[in-house]
Amino acid sequence: MSKIIVVTSGKGGVGKTTTSASIATGLALRGHKTVVIDFDVGLRNLDLIMNCERRVVYDFVNVINGEAALSQALIKDKHSDKLFILPASQTRDKDALTQEGVEKVLNELSKTFDYIVCDSPAGIEHGALMALYFADEAVVVTNPEVSSVRDSDRILGIIHSKSKRAAMGLEPIKEHLLLTRYSPERVKRGEMLSVQDVEEILSIPLLGVIPESQSVLTASNQGVPVIHDEISDAGQAYLDAVARLLGESKEHRFLDLPKKGFFKRMFGGTA
């Protein structure tokens, strides 16, 4: 039985698609057959981050409408033979995603995949509701700023009330908090919320903290999920998050300012 994970947020631009790509990649690298679905009909960014935009012939909406078989629309990842991408349509309206159509595709994918990662559009519009409706688990992505956290709190309210599990009175969706673009230096200067602040507001378990890093932008521009960059702090943080998602115990890193060495303490200088 496959597990459906939605990656969602209340606000755009928080790193949701980057997170979807890295989590799906991480699960595949750990040996789990995984598919990541782009629910952002009309925009479609996942294929860019996964570097497969030139290979898109059929998309999610084509499959829902019976215009293509699922096997025709799935794109095999270039780095892992256990990872596949189902791209969104750039030419259709978001209403093209119907609950019945999405359920049919998810049921078909569940027959052969261990994990189905749903890359949700931001906010609470139709595509986002379709992405979270059938989820078993939710990764709520937020930046450490008040507006982003407030909007994530609103998304949690939607998850609690409008998912299939909520509608049927089943066990609730398992929620995880992923904090992105975190900078201990800016927290110290009072320019962003601390991890503790965000945890206190949202009250859901912390899956991971992704540090603010140039490597994320570099990886996106290269079409390679940043989790492949195991040297970078961001890549390591995503690897840790995937391990926690799989039930492993990992100490959280990148939460505090680096300690100064002896000579820097003696003679000054930055961390």
pLDDT category at 260 given cuts 50, 70, 90 is low
> Per the structure block, which two tokens stand in for 97?
């995603």
Query: Looking at residue 105, what is its pLDDT?
Result: 97
- Chain-wide mean pLDDT for the chain? 92
Task: Name the nearest CA neighbour of 113 among 208, 9, 215, 5.
Answer: 5
Phi and psi at 161, nearest 5°, equal: -115, -25
Q: How far is it, in rounded angstroms, from Cα 32 to Cα 214? A: 29
Query: Looking at residue 196, what is its pLDDT?
Result: 96
Question: What are the pLDDT digits (tens) for 72-111?
Answer: 999 999 999 999 999 998 877 777 899 999 999 999 999 9
Q: Are 179 and 195 in contact (CB under 8 A)?
A: yes
Mean pLDDT of 136-142: 97
Residue type, 115: Y
Mean pLDDT of 36-63: 92
Flag whether the pTM goes above 0.85: yes
Query: Looking at residue 96, what is its pLDDT?
Result: 84
Mean pLDDT of 121-150: 94
pLDDT at position 5 over 90: yes
Query: Looking at residue 271, what is its pLDDT?
Result: 43
pLDDT at position 269 over 60: no
Distances in whole angstroms, Cα of residue 65 to Cα of each of 22, 116, 144, 156, 269: 29, 20, 40, 30, 61
Query: Looking at residue 59, what is its pLDDT?
Result: 94
Q: Which of 47-56, 66-75, 85-94 has the lowest mean pLDDT?
A: 85-94
Query: Looking at residue 170, what is its pLDDT?
Result: 95
Q: Are 184 and 197 in contact (CB under 8 A)?
A: no
Q: Which residue has the higher pLDDT, 92 or 156?
A: 156
Question: What are the pLDDT digits (tens) for 212-257?
Answer: 999 999 998 888 999 999 999 999 999 999 999 999 999 999 998 7
pLDDT at position 139 over 80: yes
Q: Which of 164-168, 247-251, 254-258, 265-269 has the lowest mean pLDDT?
A: 265-269
pLDDT at position 124 over 90: no
Print burial letters for 103-134: b (CB count within 10 Å at least 16), e (below 16).
Answer: eebbeebbeebbbbbbbbbbbbebbbbbbbbb
Query: Looking at residue 99, what is its pLDDT?
Result: 94
pLDDT at position 35 over 90: yes
DSSP assigned state of 94 = G
